[in-house]
C-alpha cells in the first residue's frame, strides 16, 4: 500500500481520455498512455496503483462533467439538465462512458450529482422513503439509454435488419413495420423523460 504521487495525475488522465476518445477503449493501454506523456510505462505506477485505478480516475473525470452547473430553476429543469448533460457526456466520450455503469460513484463528484437529484425529487413531493429508489430508477434508465445509443444497441437493430425482422415468429414486428424506423433520438429521449416525470409526479 505505497503512497501515490499526485502531481501528474491530471496529465495522465488527460492522455488516457484522449487515447480512448481517438482510438477506443482497446487502444487504451498503460504503454500507450506512457508513450503519450513521454515516459516509461512503469512511471505510471507511481501515480496509479494499476490500470483499474486509472480507469476509476477516468470515471471520476466524467462525473465532474455531470455535476449540475446551474442550481437554479424548477426541479423539472434541474432533473432534465442532468439527464441531457449525461447524454452529452456519453457522446463526447463514447468509449469511456459505459464504465459509469460498472463502478459505484462514491467519489465526491458522484455524490454531488446524486444529491442534486435527491433534492429535485424531494421538491417534487416524492415521499422520503421512495426518493433513493426513484433516483436509482431514473439514473439507471438515463445511463442505460446513453450507453445503448452510443454503442449501437439501438441503431444497429433499427436500420437494415428491421424489415427482415418481420419474419414468421415476429408477428408484432409486421404490425408495427411502419413505426420501427427512428431518426430522432433526441425526441425519443425527451418523450422518455416526460414519461418518467409522470412516475415522479402523477398527474
Partner DNA sequence: ACCTGAACACCGTTCAAGT
Q: Is 117 helix (H, G, I), strand (E, B) or coil?
A: helix
The nearer residue to DNA, 37 or 67, going by C-beta atoms, is 37
Q: Interacting stretch for its own copies, rule CB under 8 A, among 2-10, 15-23, 82-90, 164-172?
A: 164-172
According to DSSP, residue 182 is labeled -
Per CB under 7 A, which of residues 8..27 are in contact with DNA? Answer: 8, 27
Take residue 191 and report the three cell numbers written for it: 418523450
* 163 binds DNA per the rule CB under 7 A: no
Question: Taking CB within 5 to 8 Å according to partner kind, which of its own copies, DNA, none is near residue 115?
Answer: its own copies
Helix or strand holding residue 41 (H, E): none
Question: Taking CB within 5 to 8 Å according to partner kind, which of its own copies, DNA, none is near residue 42?
Answer: DNA
Residue 34 near residue 28 (C-beta atoms within 8 A): no
Helix or strand holding residue 28 (H, E): none
Options 5, 133, 163, 201; binder of its own copies; rule CB under 8 A: 133
Residue whose C-alpha cell is 455535476: 67
Tell me the H-state helices in 124-184: 131-150, 153-158, 161-165, 171-175
The nearer residue to its own copies, 47 or 135, going by C-beta atoms, is 135
The nearer residue to its own copies, 18 or 182, going by C-beta atoms, is 182
* 80 binds its own copies per the rule CB under 8 A: no
Helix axes 51-66, 75-92, angle to 10 degrees: 140
How far apart (Å, rounded) are the C-alpha atoms in residues 27 and 9? 19
The nearer residue to its own copies, 77 or 195, going by C-beta atoms, is 195
Options 9, 21, 36, 51; binder of DNA; rule CB under 7 A: 51
Residues at the site binding DNA, with contacts judged by CB under 7 A: 5, 7-8, 27-32, 39-43, 45-46, 50-52
Amino acid at each position: 500500500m505505497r503512497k501515490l504521487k499526485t502531481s501528474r495525475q491530471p496529465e495522465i488522465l488527460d492522455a488516457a481520455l484522449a487515447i480512448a476518445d481517438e482510438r477506443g477503449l482497446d487502444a487504451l493501454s498503460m504503454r500507450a498512455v506512457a508513450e503519450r506523456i513521454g515516459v516509461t510505462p512503469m512511471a505510471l505506477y507511481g501515480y496509479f496503483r494499476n490500470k483499474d485505478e486509472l480507469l476509476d480516475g477516468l470515471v471520476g473525470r466524467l462525473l465532474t462533467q455531470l455535476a449540475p452547473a446551474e442550481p437554479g430553476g424548477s426541479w423539472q429543469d434541474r432533473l432534465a439538465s442532468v439527464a441531457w448533460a449525461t447524454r452529452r457526456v456519453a457522446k463526447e466520450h463514447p468509449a469511456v462512458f459505459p464504465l459509469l455503469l460498472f463502478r459505484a460513484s462514491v467519489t465526491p463528484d458522484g455524490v454531488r450529482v446524486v444529491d442534486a437529484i435527491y433534492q429535485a425529487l424531494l421538491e417534487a413531493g416524492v415521499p422520503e422513503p421512495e426518493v433513493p429508489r426513484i433516483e436509482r430508477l431514473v439514473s439507471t434508465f438515463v445511463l442505460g439509454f446513453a450507453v445503448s445509443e452510443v454503442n449501437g444497441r439501438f441503431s444497429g437493430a433499427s436500420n437494415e435488419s428491421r424489415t427482415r425482422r418481420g419474419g414468421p415468429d415476429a408477428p408484432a414486428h409486421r404490425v408495427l413495420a411502419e413505426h420501427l424506423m427512428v431518426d430522432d433520438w433526441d425526441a425519443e429521449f425527451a418523450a422518455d423523460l416526460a414519461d418518467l416525470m409522470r412516475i415522479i409526479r402523477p398527474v
